[in-house]
A and B are shown apart, each in its own frame.
Chain A
């Protein structure tokens, strides 16, 4: 079919989410079905279909937002489309059954802004979320895109741009939280050697398990990162930019490349940008997807084509970075904030957030939470608001237990600290960290020892092996944790864990090792009794560590409720259950390998685990 163009006037715009989440839920097929049905009903001159980046509410994908009016449709399938097109777009009657209803009350909420998930959010980095097609530079420009850059290049001196970013209070969103303006100043003041040039790097490695903020940002609004980098280049005096994206992010890479080409064609990258006399261009480097390559010195090594291994700092990249030249490394989200800061001013930005943490932070909210997705919240918002208001609480009426922030380098924050404000300092004081924005919610069925073991096995796997504390120390810690989850731990193990943790923290070469013990330290601090239960009582309170479980069958329930259905015996792979249909069943403990299948298949709650 003939392509629709956004130059024409349409009375309805259908914003179809084409973020990775929705795409994997078939949103492209939904889009095609929409286009086809619109054509069939003769509406192709009235209704425009637009593909956008991640809308945020990935849990409910594939998503469609109808403009004007922000009518929110969710979990669409191809067979919903003909009815939807006829009813809503032709006859003007929105279709309630395709709208979102909160789990606790079944009344559909038609308008996006009225849905709790969206209400508490403040969008700066994600300002164009769901409003533009990321592959159309004109739509970015329509929403004040490249206005900040134009201002920086034609109305401001480099010092003024630098000062504005310093005044804004923006801190790095990639993990460390270093003040961005100050880092820029270091690079600006550093001198190049042997006639080289200064570089700017965008860190899009994003290796934390469960994190997808940077990927979504690059997919949804690549121009905001490009614009931020040009502004940074002006402030710093850099001539070449590099965006480092991991190869597992094909959609982000594709949209970034389309955006770079479009910006070049308009002369917004290249020589003499906007006749300002300023030259700057950006290249893309693909990373192979190693967690350690997110560390800035490893990242730079990888860009140079060397092994992605970290090196000791100082010298910092600001002095000696790419090819020995001063280099400024910032995270994707950090860059995306810059255009707005220049456009709306440092004072405006400074007014959002807390004393020491300004602006907003994007989090990927995952785990045991009703509303999985991508959220952008003002700094200082409480954990409680994120989990209960935006996140919609814990599914299945289960109890909230902890939140893990900061990925493998972060820690677990227990439910007693649910009122904790989200800012750099509060998270650090609680033993965790802001990190790049992964937020994993855990409920009562999560074993904290197992969580610590999971994160440590991740860092142990991803350790580059260059320094001994990280290479050997994390392995030893992992062994101890595994022993504990198998019920073979001793009290001395806890002391040893703490000692190892401290010495790795103090002596590892890079941030990966320095922070690897954090998940263990915070769980030990807040959930020590769980460790002790594993060690002393040989029990896993959450029943996750199966080796510690004992399965029994409640004979009364088995016969009276389940009528001796025999499902457990038939599914037991090790013949550890005796009984016959209609009669009570029992577990022979000696034979039981604790696989838990009987527990899973019993529909009558007769199998008990302790």
Chain B
């Protein structure tokens, strides 16, 4: 690494913030929760988790919090996720595949359009946004 200029230092800070923002209780625009009960994992929830990880990484998204929680109580409809945009009611999506997950990421998470075809119901409950 050559000597930094003032500009390099600023750029480095922006880049490094990607790592630390997760630790600072940052303000996330969206939160995606993958339900990871034993039922969810058996139905393929980990593939769904990985799909979101890859999307976030490849598209260099910084304002989406990806997290997991236990079984959502609808084991027959797993894998499931909940998408929450700040200030909006949470939406549950059911019976997901990686393709559906990508679709939801592009349309709902990034562009705010709920994908009705895969959605379960809107606003029935809330997970805590941290």
Contacts and interface: CB of A to CB of B under 8 A. Distances in A.
Contacts of B35: 92
Contact of B13 (A68, A93, A147, A154): A147
Contacts of B122: none
A68 B34 CA distance: 15
A143 interface: yes
A70 interface: yes
Interface string B94-124: 0000000000000000000000000000000
A8 interface: yes
Interface string B33-63: 1111110010000100110010011000000
A348 interface: no
Contact of A9 (B15, B53, B67): B53
B86 interface: no
Contact of B53 (A11, A266, A267): A11
Contacts of A6: 16, 19
Interface stretch (A134-142, A452-460, A515-523, A568-576): A134-142
A147 B13 CA distance: 9
A68 B25 contact: yes
Contact of B70 (A46, A93, A139, A143): A93
B19 A139 contact: yes
A91 B13 contact: no
Nearest to B13: A141
Most chain B CB atoms below 10 A, which of A67, A131, A265: A67
A90 B12 CA distance: 32
Interface string B9-34: 10011011111101111100000011
A535 interface: no
B70 A9 contact: no
A146 interface: yes
A449 interface: no
B68 A92 contact: yes
A150 B12 contact: no
Interface residues of A, number: 41
Contacts of A89: 68
A266 B1 contact: yes
Contacts of B34: 92
Contact of B9 (A11, A91, A150): A150
Interface string A107-140: 0000000000000000000000001100000110
Interface in A145-171: 145-147, 150, 154
A270 B3 CA distance: 10
Nearest to B57: A9
Contact of B69 (A92, A144, A265): A92
A274 B6 CA distance: 6
A383 B89 CA distance: 46
Contacts of B56: 9
A13 interface: yes
B65 interface: yes
A275 B19 contact: no
Interface in A61-109: 67-70, 89-93
A11 B66 contact: yes
Contacts of B1: 265-266
Given A9-B57, A90-B36, A132-B20, A142 B25 contact: no
Contacts, number: 100
A143 B37 CA distance: 35
A129 to B, nearest CB: 11
Contacts of B12: 138, 141
Given A91-B68, A92-B69, A274-B5, A68 B36 contact: no
Contacts of A10: 22
Interface residues on B, range: 35 or more
A274 B13 contact: no
Contacts of A270: 3
Nearest to A276: B6
Interface string A215-229: 000000000000000
B5 A13 contact: no
Contact of A13 (B23, B36, B67): B23
Contacts of A92: 33-36, 67-70
Contacts of B68: 11, 89-92
Contact of A91 (B2, B22, B38): B38
Nearest to B35: A92
A233 B49 CA distance: 50
A540 B15 CA distance: 63
A403 interface: no
B80 to A, nearest CB: 12
Nearest to B46: A42
A141 B23 contact: no
A545 B69 CA distance: 57
Given A91-B37, A150-B9, A267-B3, A15 B23 contact: yes
Contact of A274 (B4, B37, B41, B46): B4
B3 A266 contact: yes
A265 B4 CA distance: 9
A267 B4 contact: yes
Contacts of A46: 49-50, 53
A138 B12 CA distance: 7
A268 B41 CA distance: 48
A270 B106 CA distance: 47
Which one of B5, B19, B65, B69 has the greatest number of beta carbons of chain A within 10 Å? Answer: B19
A268 B17 contact: no
Given A11-B67, A70-B25, A266-B4, A131 B36 contact: no
A8 B54 CA distance: 10
A460 to B, nearest CB: 47
B6 A91 contact: no
A8 B57 contact: yes
B2 to A, nearest CB: 8
Given A46-B50, A275-B5, 17 more contacts: A9-B53, A10-B22, A45-B53, A68-B22, A68-B130, A90-B36, A91-B36, A92-B67, A131-B23, A131-B24, A141-B9, A146-B9, A150-B6, A150-B9, A154-B6, A267-B4, A274-B4
14 contacts: A11-B49, A68-B25, A92-B67, A93-B70, A138-B16, A139-B16, A139-B19, A139-B20, A141-B16, A142-B16, A142-B19, A147-B9, A266-B3, A274-B6
Nearest first, the 10 A-B pairs at minimum CB distance are: A267-B3, A142-B16, A92-B68, A92-B69, A142-B20, A67-B23, A138-B16, A69-B130, A6-B19, A11-B66
